[in-house]
Amino acid sequence: MKYFLILLSCLLAVATAQAQQSTSYSPEFDARERARIAVERQQTMERHGKEEADCYQRFAVNDCLSGVRKRRRVSLEELRRQELILNDERRAATAAAQQQRVDARAAERGAPQASEQREAAQKAQEERLDRAREKQAEQQNRPAPPASAAPGGSRAPGKGADPASRRLEQQRAYEEKQRRAEQRRQARERAQSEKGPSTSRPLPVPP
C-alpha cells in the first residue's frame, strides 16, 4: 500500500507538471513567430536592396550605401534576437519534457525520483532563461538606432514598438509561470517530506 501511494503521488506530480508546461510553451505561437520573422527578414532584404539600387542614382553614392547597410544590419540583428529568444524557450520546453519522462519512468518502477538529474535539469533550464534575460537586457541597453526609413526620411508604416513590447510581455509571463511552477513543486516536496513514514500499526499475527 505504501509503494502504491508513492507511485500515485508521483504520477499526479508528473501530470501537473505536464499541464503547466503545455500552458507556458505553445508550439503554435512558436511557429507563427518564426514564420513572421522569416517574412520580415525577406522584406527587409528586398527593401534595402531597392534602396541600394537607388543610391547609385545619387551623387554621394558611398554615404548612401553606408546608411542603407547600417539600417539593414540593425533590422536583421533585431530579428535574430527574436529568434534566439524563441530558441531558448523551445530548448527549455524540450528539457522540461525530457525531465518529465525521466520522472514518469522512475514513478513506474516505484523507485524514488532521481534528485540529482532533476536538479541538473532545473539548473540548466535556469541558466538558459538567465542567458535569454541577459541578451534581452543587453539589447535594451543599446542606444536606440536613428529613425531609419525609406529614402525621404519617412518611417515605414506599421513598424512601431508594439510587437516588441508584446514579445517582451510574453517572455516575462513565461518566466513568471516557470517560477510559480517551481514554487509549487517545492511546496509539494516539503509537504511530502513533512508527512513522514506511516504510523499505522501492523495487524496482530494469529496464533
43-76 pLDDT, tens digit per residue, is: 999 998 999 898 988 888 888 989 989 999 999 9
Predicted confidence at residue 158, as pLDDT, reads: 46
What are the cell numbers at 90?
A: 523551445
Alpha carbons 36 and 45: distance in angstroms, whole number? 14
Per cent of the chain over pLDDT 90 is 16
Per-residue pLDDT band at 5 (split at 50, 70, 90): very low
Whole-model pTM: value is: 0.38
pLDDT at 1 over 50: no
For 146-204, the pLDDT digits (tens) are 544 444 444 444 445 577 778 888 888 888 888 898 888 888 888 887 775 555 555 55
* Per-residue model confidence (pLDDT) at position 22: 42
Give me the residue spans of the domains in the chain: 25-137
Q: What is the DSSP letter of 156?
A: P
The separation between CA 18 and the C-alpha centre of its own chain, rounded to angstroms, equals 16
Contact 28, 132 (CB under 8 A): no
In total, the chain counts a number of residues equal to 207
